[in-house]
Amino acid sequence: MLLRQLTIAALAASSYAQSSSSIVLTGTNSVISGADYATGSQLSYESYASTITLNTTSGAGASSTARPQNQTITTNGTALTTTSATQTLLSGSARNTTIATGRTATSSSARPTNTQPCNGYPEFCNRKYSNITQVGAHNSPFAVRGNIAANQELDVTTQLNDGVRMLQFQVHKPNDTAPLLLCHTSCDLLNAGTLVDYLTTVREWLDANPYDVVTVLMGNYDVLTPQNFTGPVYESGLDRYAYTPPTVPMPLNDWPTLGEMILTQKRAVIMLDYEADQVAIPWLLDEFANFWETPFSPTDRDFPCNVDRPPNQDREISSDRLYIANHNLNVDVQIAGLSLLIPASTLLNETNAVQGYGSAGAMVNNCTADWVRPPTVILVDFYNVGSFNGSVFQVAADANGVSYNRDSCCGTMQRTVNAATSKKVSSVIVAAAALAVAYVMV
């Protein structure tokens, strides 16, 4: 344990001292893997030779078996329905819903004026879930102050208030009797508490924000059976909002509009990266049947927009699926027997920027050129840090063809990281690394 602590101290300091496009710090005895998701030969990706129709009305695991809700939602005296001129409209402005043409086309046909934003924008109410680019928080729960394994600075409630709409994280089960925990690679490294507590917080936020749709992506780090995840979802109450798609996989144009998801109160898209079984549990979506991802935990500032997971997927299939652009730059640190990926902190102002080399804006432009549509999710570390407050949200707004209010972010704090920081910690890097290596030699 002491060795791990000493090594982590070295890693903490080293994260401030890099600047090249792809960085690897090497040491001795590099034997422990620090992968940010489940790895190994036991992993498999479901291959769907044909589309499966899911049971959305009855049976164990169907979303309709969750707590029933009225089709008309009333909160604080406001009803979410389009049946009365005095009630909030959720029709939105008309837009071209053909995904392959991107986000810019609009229709000139007359439509009612929407008075209520969906996910922050009136324009989104009439747009399909698959036709919106959203900001995702990579390792959302890992916002533990003073822990170098943290990927965020602000808690999940603040993330959602600021506009984050995908929450991604790892789930671990340390032993047979332990609850599902939110840990970063190892629960010795960072333990952010139980899955049920976290999901309860998300459900409470959805209760208070009835016009928003949130996506929860759980990393099945220990490759558990999917039934392990149903208990925490039901116990948290999040099941009442769980969206069940009509089929698996889901083509792009089959996704509902945000307005439809809000009116039916199916406002939580819940996914599992490995071992999902949508026939048994229709509302627990198989991530890689519905999404693909660019390279995970990238260390390359070019951020290539190729399909990394699922591997070897045909381009024709990828072109008809949602996709996540992993835009969280890491440093691959190998020292004193550990190999870990840690956030490239000193480059956050550039990585989360609207434009420039290695920026989120440049990545979205490249992906749009490659796939004729922007990413569904821009997954980032420390979303509150960038070229200005909320710059990653500006990138998403530009991809969506809407206007972003720069005064709406971020929480109560904003950190700026610059090159001067690396000079202040250079002596700490040397001391901590030397201490860790010296301990190995004792």
* Helix/strand/coil for 120: coil
- Domain with 294 in it: what CATH number? 3.20.20.190
Per-residue model confidence (pLDDT) at position 307: 97
d(CA 379, CA 208): 25
pLDDT digits (tens, 9 = 90+) for 281-312: 999 999 999 999 999 888 899 999 999 999 99
Residue 93 corresponds to which tokens in the numbers above?
């402005």
- Name the one residue in this structure whose structure tokens are 């045909």: 314
Per-residue model confidence (pLDDT) at position 103: 61
Is residue 358's pLDDT more than 70? yes
Is residue 18's pLDDT more than 90? no
Per-residue model confidence (pLDDT) at position 70: 33
d(CA 138, CA 328): 7
The DSSP code for 363 is H
d(CA 273, CA 296): 13
Mean pLDDT of the chain: 79
1-35 CB burial, b ≥16 within 10 A, e <16: eeebebbbbbbbbbbbbbeeeebebebeeeeeebe
> For residue 19, which of 339, 351, 294 has the smallest C-alpha distance?
351
- Kindly write down the DSSP assignment for every residue of 220-269, as one continuous string: ETT---THHHHHHHHHHTGGGGB---SEES--GGGSPBHHHHHHTT--EE
The DSSP code for 186 is E
Alpha-carbon 111 to chain mean position: 33
Per-residue model confidence (pLDDT) at position 9: 47
d(CA 35, CA 58): 39
Is residue 370's pLDDT more than 80? yes
Give the DSSP H/E element, type plus range, for residue 199.
helix 195-208
Confidence of residue 24 (pLDDT cuts 50, 70, 90): very low
Between 85 and 49, name the one with better pLDDT: 49
Contact 192, 142 (CB under 8 A): yes
Q: In the chain, how many domains are there?
A: 1
Mean pLDDT calculated for residue range 139-159: 92
Is residue 102's pLDDT more than 70? no
Per-residue model confidence (pLDDT) at position 331: 84
- Strand bridging mode 330-335 / 338-343: antiparallel
pLDDT digits (tens, 9 = 90+) for 207-249: 999 999 999 999 999 999 999 999 999 999 999 999 999 999 9
- Name the one residue in this structure whose structure tokens are 């109160």: 265
Per-residue model confidence (pLDDT) at position 425: 37
**What percent of the chain has a predicted confidence (pLDDT) above 70?**
69
Confidence of residue 185 (pLDDT cuts 50, 70, 90): confident
Residue 265 corresponds to which tokens in the numbers above?
């109160």
Mean pLDDT calculated for residue range 188-211: 96
Contact 160, 209 (CB under 8 A): yes
Confidence of residue 343 (pLDDT cuts 50, 70, 90): confident
Residue 91 corresponds to which tokens in the numbers above?
């029709």
d(CA 321, CA 314): 11
Per-residue model confidence (pLDDT) at position 19: 39
Alpha-carbon 27 to chain mean position: 32
Alpha-carbon 21 to chain mean position: 23
Instruction: Kindly give, in sequence order, each residue whose CB lies less than 8 Å from that of residue 220, ignoring residues fewer than 6 positions away.
Output: 38, 171, 229, 272, 273, 274, 275
Can you give the residue range of the structural domain that contains 420?
Answer: 2-441
Mean pLDDT calculated for residue range 87-114: 48
The DSSP code for 347 is G
Per-residue model confidence (pLDDT) at position 73: 37
Per-residue model confidence (pLDDT) at position 50: 82
Confidence of residue 335 (pLDDT cuts 50, 70, 90): low
* Helix/strand/coil for 398: helix
* Helix/strand/coil for 438: helix
What residues are labeled active site? 138, 184
Burial of 385 (0-12, 13-18, 19+ CB in 10 A): buried
Per-residue model confidence (pLDDT) at position 356: 98
Of the candidate ranges 88-92, 95-99, 164-168, the one whose mean pLDDT is the lowest? 95-99
